[in-house]
Structure 1
Amino acid sequence: MAVGAIVAALATLMLSGFDNDSNLQARSPGGVVAKADKVFASVAPGDCLTWTKPDHSDLVELDCAEEHLFEVTDTVDLSRYPGAEFGPGAVWPDSLRLTELREEHCVPAAQRYLNGRFDPRGKYAVGLMYPSNDGWNTSGDRILRCGLQVPGLSGNPLPNTGRVAESDQSKVYEPGVCLGISQNLPTDPVDCAQEHAVEIASTIDLSARFPGGPPSKDDQDRFLEEECGRTTNDYLGGPHVLRDKTLTVFFDFIDARSWLAGSRKLNCMIGKGADQEGFAPIVGPARGRIMIDGQEPVPPPNSGRSTPTPLPGAAPLPPQPEPRPAPR
């Protein structure tokens, strides 16, 4: 609930990020990368690939148990495409057309590959590897590879281990991880000493509380308000820390599509709502000294409770006991 709108916006950014050439995973064929071309030509669904160079000239296939960047889900041969759009002499498709091809071929391929259990809001995103301009025009290369990868907002996929079908697709991070900030929204993990939007306090598994079908958002909210409050206080060392640093607990919810794909976990996050929308930049770990928008937080007076204005849809902070008069 707490960052429902914000997390949804973040997911949109991740997917739309694939509209540029780097995230569509272009490769550059030619004499210096003949080995990489051979690898690319031989892979099949279920194979995993990795590389370190921007032109993919060191592309290698490896066991999916090892750290990799791309898991192949399908092959598309554009030379068999109806009409002359991709025939000999055809113009190399631009990034918009490649994005359309990804949506047309690779999104359904991901669902088939995972037997209908792909979480569109989860850890993985649909990717596409395609020929470079030179490969298209000089070598007549028309092969596309659909795949799954962990998207990074920096423009490059993030390393992953294990097959997607055997992994929990829940988009969660370990406690203590900080997510960077760009345009008031969370980005990729960064050192907490750098500016960030939120810090992960805990991971909540909803499967024990909701063993059946997808729970309603309201039911999730009620459960997570209590659990995130409790686990965040444990993480910080007491409820006074959250109060004194004027921070707020945020959490998302799992929609029916994600639930049916098998995702059950969510993060409890600590952050500070910006004056207008999104998050304010924080520097420093929440369990240490922090700066919010370049200023040290001012604790509220001991005689009362002061909380920051929550974001739209933000979960309230855990209820605190009313102050009691001192014994006489």
Structure 2
Amino acid sequence: MSANAQWFRSRNRTLSTRLVMAGGFVGALLVLTLSMVFSWPVKVTASAGDQAAENLKAAFAAPPGSCLNWAPDGSDMRQTPCETPHLFEVTGDVDIAAEYNASAPSPTDEAWREIAKKRCTDGAAAYLGGKLDPFGKYSVGALKPSNEQWRDGDRKFRCGLQRAAPSGKALVPTKNSAKNQNQSDVYDAGTCLALVDKNVGDPIECTKAHAYEIVGVIDLGETFKDGGFPLEEQQQTAMLDQCPKLAADYSGGLNLADKKLTLTWDTRKQESWDAGSKLAVCKVGAPLPDNSGLAPVTGSIKSAAAAVPPTPTTPGG
């Protein structure tokens, strides 16, 4: 990431493998943090004809390549066509019965994370054709057996791919199979990301206070067509050359300085480049005068309505 874009960086995007665990509970699911471990819903024992129960049974048995979705409260987990919005794409099943016999207690949350890291990451990379961008939009996830399932002897957990929001506290729905997607961690132009404690949060309406607004996406692969990894300085030059035009086209020529806004951008790390992630975003935000983070911006620059609250002054200042 570029130095001038450093103040846009999410504090939750530092894990090298970006392994997260998520899942659904029948009735309710509060995704407090993706570093927590979540279970599948309890084993379905509802009577035949219960559509939610049938959906859950199908999801539980979904083979690799299947996509799963569930409601915001965690209910109604079901298998869905990957062409439709979904939260989880199954990459494989792992059985740990050889390590945990029928009387063994369920692993701790930390142990589950380590197990999934060891047993899911390589499989996810293979599922994607051998390349998994450690800084890309897809995270390796896992759904572990519920306590009831564990007591009944179920020792399988499902590995999968999902997209975590910048805050690390929610999942972002994706469309189409991850196998066919560019892994660059970018959002479309027009997306605004919330401001949380002077840092980057999750996608939000641009009419609400936000950290920055995406104004364009650049394919650095088109700029550096020889395929070799461009140095940071080269990427900076390319983004500096292209982002101002995209911002001007997007905003209708708005003078950002008049609005106390700053244009910045991302660059790509070599690990991402080698995995084929060559897209980078141009974005607009407002760094605080002391460079301690970001100021809230309300309104889209596309409508020239973006505004930054005035900087507070000290008494007598």
TM-score by length of 1: 0.80
Alpha-carbon shift at residue 30 of structure 1 (Å): 3.8
Q: Is the 8 A contact 1:50 1:61 kept in 2?
A: yes
Tell me, which stretches of 5 or more residues in structure 2 are unaligned? 21-32, 47-51, 313-317
Task: Quote how far apart the aligned CAs of 1:199 are.
Answer: 0.5
**SS in structure 2 at match of 1:228:** helix
Establish whether residue 145 from structure 1 lines up as the match of residue 158 from structure 2.
yes
Deviation per residue, 1:41-90 (Å, 9 max, x gap): 4222212112226455x332232222221111121112122xxxx22232
Query: 2:189 is matched with which residue?
Result: 175
Q: Deviations over 1:168-203 (max 9, x none)?
A: 111222222110111222121101111110011111
Query: Which whole-Å CA distance do the structure 2 matches of 1:166 and 1:25 have between them?
Result: 28
Q: Are 1:225 and 2:240 an aligned pair?
A: yes
Task: After superposing the two structures, state which structure 1 stretch, 1-10 or 195-204, moved more.
Answer: 1-10
Deviating above 6 A after TM superposition, structure 1's stretches of 4 or more consecutive aligned residues are none
Number of the residue aligned with 1:260: 274
- Counterparts of 1:296-307 in structure 2, within 5 Å, are none
| Alignment match, 1:310 | none
Question: What is the match of residue 128 of structure 2?
Answer: 114
The answer to whether the Cα contact below 8 Å between 1:125 and 1:149 also exists between their aligned partners in 2 is yes
Aligned residues of 2:87 and 2:163 also touching (Cα < 8 A): yes
**Partners of 1:155 and 1:184 in 2: CA distance:** 16
RMSD: 2.4
Query: Partner of 2:306 in structure 1?
Result: 290
User: Which residue of the partner structure matches residue 250 of structure 2?
Assistant: 235
Which stretch shows the higher mean deviation, 185-194 or 4-13? Answer: 4-13
**Paired residues of 1:206 and 1:265 also in contact (CA < 8 A):** yes
Q: 3-state DSSP class of the match of 1:52?
A: coil
Per-residue CA shift, 1:91-144, capped at 9, x if unaligned?
Answer: 22232122112211111111111122111111111111111122212x222110
> Which residue in the other structure is 1:20 paired with?
36
Q: 2:90 aligns with which of 67, 72, 77?
A: 72
Conserved 8 A contact 2:19-2:141: no
2:231 counterpart residue number: 216
Distance between the aligned counterparts of 1:63 and 1:174, measured in 2? 22
1:241 match: secondary structure? coil
> Contact 2:193/2:202 (CA < 8 Å) preserved in 1?
yes
Q: Secondary structure of the residue that 1:214 maps to in structure 2?
A: coil
The one-letter code matched in structure 1 to 2:230 is: P
Give secondary structure in 1 for the equivalent of 2:137.
Answer: coil
Indicate conservation of the 8 Å contact 2:89/2:177, yes or no: yes
Q: With structure 2 as the length reference, what TM-score do the two structures score?
A: 0.82
Q: Which amino acid in the other structure matches residue 92 of structure 1? A: S
Conserved in 2, the CA contact under 8 Å of 1:29 and 1:131? no
1:60 aligned onto 2:73: no
Unaligned runs of 5+ in 1: 298-328
Identity %: 33
The separation in 2 between residues aligned to 1:41 and 1:176, in whole angstroms, is 36
* Equivalent residues, number: 287
Cα 1:5/1:95, change in 2 over 3 Å: farther
- Decide whether the 8 Å contact of 1:290 with 1:296 is kept in 2: no
Q: Which is further off, 36-45 or 255-264?
A: 36-45
Larger radius of gyration: 1
Q: Find the counterpart in structure 1 of residue 26 from structure 2.
A: none
Amino acid across the alignment from 2:246: T
User: Structure 2 counterpart of 1:51, which letter?
Assistant: W
